[in-house]
């Protein structure tokens, strides 16, 4: 599995170096640094990062918020904002760019890593939900499916398309026993207590 690619854009060299070291410890791929919004967009276009960490105040024609809006709308790349300012007006404006997290300077290494783990989980969950809803499924799931995890949703989507356990395992790059475990959990959550019930028919209705 490829390591997540993290783009860092901040005009403070010390900050970018510290972030680089932190991310390297977790095995993330580092893209950048960029020192302006324009540089960040260029690097994002070339490397398509998983997520971008952007300083809100950067020199040049685009600040971090404007850059984040372009990343989201034009490339579907989510953003974590980094700032030394927590004024209400800045935060309210930053919200419009729909960041997945907000980090304050000075950097707290532990906080950065925790927030990154949470952000990557959100990104994966969102993308799996998009895969799910881009198939033959309703955008709003029935209430009884609310407890399914993103992975279970993806397994369910493939099962409903008639894929066998082996085919689902190959598609997701896991073992057959892992898929059987997910199918068992799906049955339990959907109250399909009879093992003879057709899981394909009962899924997502």
Three-point CA angle 98, 99, 105, nearest 5°:
140
- DSSP string spanning 130-157? HHHHTSSS-SSPPGGGTT--HHHHHHHH
Q: What pLDDT band is residue 204 in, cutting at 50, 70 and 90?
A: very low
pLDDT of residue 196: 45
| Cis amide leading into 17 (omega within 30) | no
pLDDT of residue 130: 60
Q: Are residues 51 and 105 in the same domain?
A: yes
Q: Is the pLDDT of residue 56 over 60?
A: yes
User: Residue 193: what are its φ and ψ, rounded to 5°?
Assistant: -75, -25
Tokens standing for residue 15 = 């900050």
pLDDT of residue 176: 86
Q: Is the pLDDT of residue 13 over 90?
A: yes
Q: Are residues 66 and 47 in the same domain?
A: yes
Q: Is the pLDDT of residue 128 over 70?
A: no
According to DSSP, the residues that pair with 103 across neighbouring strands are 82
Closest CA to 87 of 58, 63, 62, 57: 57
| Most confident listed range (71-75, 123-127, 201-205) | 71-75
Boundary residue ending a domain (109, 129, 149): 129
Q: Quickly count: other Cβ atoms within 10 Å of residue 56's Cβ.
A: 23
Q: Are residues 107 and 43 in the same domain?
A: yes
What region does 177 belong to: left with phi over 0, alpha with psi -120 to 50, or beta?
A: alpha
Asked if 139 and 129 touch (Cβ cutoff 8 Å), the reply is no
pLDDT tens string 144-192: 455 677 777 778 777 877 888 898 888 887 788 888 888 888 888 777 7
Q: Can you tell me the distance from the alpha carbon of 14 to that of 16, in angstroms, rounded to the nearest whole number?
A: 6
Q: Can you tell me the distance from the alpha carbon of 182 to that of 148, in angstroms, rounded to the nearest whole number?
A: 10
Boundary residue ending a domain (85, 111, 129): 129
Q: Are residues 19 and 117 in the same domain?
A: yes
Boundary residue ending a domain (78, 105, 129): 129
According to DSSP, the residues that pair with 34 across neighbouring strands are 9
Q: How many domains does the chain have?
A: 2
Structural domain including 188 reads: 135-202
pLDDT tens string 70-108: 999 999 899 999 988 777 888 888 888 999 989 988 999
pLDDT of residue 131: 55
Q: Are residues 99 and 145 in the same domain?
A: no
Q: What is the CATH number of the domain that holds 30?
A: 3.40.50.2300
Q: Are residues 164 and 98 in the same domain?
A: no
Element (H, E) at 55: strand 51-55
Helical H runs in the chain? 13-25, 37-47, 64-75, 88-95, 109-133, 150-160, 165-172, 176-189, 199-202
């Amino acid at each position: 599995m490829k390591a997540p690619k993290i783009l860092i854009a901040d005009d403070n060299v010390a900050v970018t170096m510290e972030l680089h070291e932190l991310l390297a410890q977790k095995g993330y791929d580092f893209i950048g640094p960029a020192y302006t919004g324009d540089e960040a967009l260029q690097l994002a276009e070339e490397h398509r990062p998983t997520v971008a960490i952007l300083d809100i105040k950067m020199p040049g024609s685009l600040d971090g918020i404007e850059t984040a809006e372009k990343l989201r709308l034009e490339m579907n790349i989510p953003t974590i904002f980094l700032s030394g300012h927590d004024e209400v007006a800045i935060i309210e404006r930053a919200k419009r760019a729909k960041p997945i997290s907000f980090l304050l300077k000075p950097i707290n290494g532990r906080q950065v890593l925790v927030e990154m783990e949470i952000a990557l989980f959100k990104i994966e969950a969102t993308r799996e939900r998009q895969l799910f809803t881009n198939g033959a499924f309703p955008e709003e799931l029935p209430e009884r499916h609310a407890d399914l995890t993103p992975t279970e949703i993806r397994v369910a989507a493939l099962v409903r398309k008639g894929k066998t356990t082996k085919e689902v395992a190959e598609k997701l790059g896991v073992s057959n026993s892992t898929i059987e475990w997910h199918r068992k959990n799906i049955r339990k959550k959907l109250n399909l207590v009879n093992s003879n019930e057709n899981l394909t028919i009962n899924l997502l209705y």
